[in-house]
Structure formats: structure tokens, C-alpha cells
Amino acid sequence: MLHILWAIIKFILILAGILIGLVLAAILLVLFCPVRYRICGSKDRGDWKNARGAARVNWLLGLVSFRISYQDGKESHSLKIAGIPLFGKKKKRRKKKKVSRPKESSVPQIAESEKIRGKETKMLSSAEDTLESRSIESEVVRTDTATVPDHTDTAVDLGKAKTVPAKKHEKPEPIQKPESSQRPGLFFRIREKIKKVIQGIKAFFKKLKNIRKAFADILEKIKWWKGFLRSEEMKEALCLVKEQCTGLLKHIFPTRIKGKTAFGCEDPAVTGMVLAVLGMSIPLHKNCIQVSPAFDSEENFLEGEVSMKGRIYGIVLLRTGIRIYFNKNIKYILNQWKHKEDLNYGK
């Protein structure tokens, strides 16, 4: 009995160890296996329809890959796991092949459908004929009944006319006005007007008090926000966030950039302005993109090609998140933000 229990416990422990190992392996892969990306694009002279572009993202040495491309005004994308496409071009081709296959049984089905339609039209025409005949019969019956005079009604009407006596002309009774509609006295009207004036003055003073309280609340809120934003904790927290975000952007930014472009405008002044703006981007690509302006061009054009590569490590994202979240200054700011209503804005 003990041997059986020990074997069951050993089996459970082995399964738990395997599961823990798989979870740890997945976490290590996510943190230390980089996500690599590559972007490339090119454009010839002419419209933007001639532009081409493609982007690819790989993870785990190409085991998982996603690709999106644009060419000849059409967009296509695909996702592959271990070389097996989940969605993309192949499924679309299969669907097209299935639709393009002709069916052998299409001719007899068409003939049967035509026969059924002919029967339905015959049935509808017969039903319409019967309805028309019934409507004509009902109209004839109505005309016959309308021509027969009703003598009984006329006789009764004549008898009634003899027996009904003529009414005498009666004078309308004068309408008595109610006592409440009579105009009140002068004293009563003056008193009511004085009451209305006093009520209006009281309402005006209440509005003034409410406006004063609202202005006081707004001033207190402004003072609290000034103190909150100008505090040393806020300054240190903003410096930390700025430092961590710049480091993260440098990590995400492409490590290799290559390309060459040529452009020109009809006005040489516009070409010079565009060149000055592009010169401001040299610190980003470190002069890896060659720019050749054409000051003597007779038309507006842009052509060239650019390619860039980069990688993103999950451990870097986790490290920046931990440094920002567990900082004491940021914790203090979050606490102040959550309990700002309880603090009553510094009262």
C-alpha cells in the first residue's frame, strides 16, 4: 500500500516539476529571446502607386513570424508558426479555387427551376382570375341593394315629424362670475408685491453666496495643484520617467539603417527648406541615409529606398516598468492622486 502511495506522489511531483519547468522556460524565452523586426520600402518617380513597402517581425529564431507588405496598391499579410500559415495568401487561393470549380449538376437544376417557375406563374394567374370574378359579383350585389328604397324609415320619420312639438325661443341665462375672480383690494396687492421683492432679494443674496463659495473652491484647487506639481517628488519622478523612456526608445529604435533618397521641387527655396528639415533627423539615423537634393529640377519628385533592422528584449521592458513603478516618488504621487478627494485640496 505504501509503495502505491509513494508511486502516485512521485508521479504527481514529476508532473508538477515538468509544468514548472515549462512555465519557467516560457518566461525566460519571453524575457531573453528578442523580437526582431525589419522594415524596407522604396519608391520610383511618379505617383505614390509605384511605392512598395514590407515589414516583418520574427520571434524565437523565426518560429513565429508576421509579415505585411504593400505593392501595386494592394496590401497582403500572413502569420506563420513553425512555417505553418494561420492566415494569409494560401487560404485565399484555396477559396478562389473552390469558387472557380464548375459544378456538373448545374444544367438539370436550371431546367427543374424553370419548370417550377412555370407552374407557379400558372397558379398565380388562375388565383387572380378567381379573385377578379368574386370582386365583380360583390359589386353587382351592392348596386342591387342600393337601388331598393327603404319605405319603413321614411314612414317612421314622418310620424316623428308630426309628434315633435316646436321649441320656444329661450333667452340665455346670464353667466355669474365667481367671487374669486373679483379684483382684490389695494392693500392686498401692495403686500403681495412687497413679498415678491423680498423673495427676489433673498434669492439674489443666495446666488452671491454660492458664487463666492465656487470661486473659493476653484482658488483652493488651483493652490493644491500648484503645490502638487511643483513639489520635489513630482520633479524627481518626471526626471526618472524621462530618463527611462529615452532609454527604452533608444533600445527600440533600429540598430541598422541604410538608404538613399533623391528629391527635388520646382522652387529651389522649397528644396532648401526640405533639406534643412531632413538635416534635423541626422542624429536619429546617424547620417546612414544619403540625401541628394536636385535644385535645378523642373518638377516635384521623390525617389529612393530605405531599410532598417532592430530588436526588442522583453527584459528591458520589464526592467523599465519595475524601476518606474517601485520608485518611492512615483508611489507618493500615486497615493496623493488616489486620495486627493480625502485631502480636500489642502484644507
Q: Which uninterrupted H or E stretch holds 260?
A: strand 256-264
Q: How far apart are CA 147 and CA 216, in angstroms?
A: 91
Q: Contact 293/269 with Cβ under 8 angstroms?
A: no
pLDDT digits (tens, 9 = 90+) for 267-287: 889 988 988 888 888 887 778
Average pLDDT of the chain to the nearest whole number: 77
% pLDDT > 70, the chain: 70
pLDDT at 315 over 90: yes
Q: What's at 40, amino acid-wise?
A: C
Q: How many CB atoms lie within 10 A of CB 224?
A: 17
The DSSP symbol for 12 reads H
The DSSP symbol for 326 reads T
At 161 the pLDDT is 41
pLDDT digits (tens, 9 = 90+) for 172-229: 555 554 444 455 667 777 888 888 888 888 888 888 888 888 888 888 888 888 888 8
Q: Which uninterrupted H or E stretch holds 116?
A: helix 106-147
CA distances to 25, 165, 166, 241 from 160, in Å: 109, 10, 12, 104
Mean pLDDT in residue range 64-91: 83
Confidence at 239, pLDDT banded by 50, 70, 90: very high
Buried b (16+ CB within 10 A) or exposed e, 8-34: eeeeeeeeeeeeeeeeeeeeeebeebb
At 308 the pLDDT is 94
Model-wide pTM > 0.75: no
At 173 the pLDDT is 52
pLDDT digits (tens, 9 = 90+) for 114-154: 666 666 666 656 656 665 566 555 554 454 444 444 444 43
Q: How far apart are CA 225 and CA 179, in angstroms?
A: 65
Mean pLDDT in residue range 328-347: 74
At 184 the pLDDT is 61
At 146 the pLDDT is 45
As to burial, measured by CB atoms within 10 angstroms (0-12 exposed, 13-18 middle, 19+ buried), residue 237 is buried
Q: Of 58-62, 81-85, 172-176, 192-196, give the lowest mean pLDDT range.
A: 172-176
At 156 the pLDDT is 39
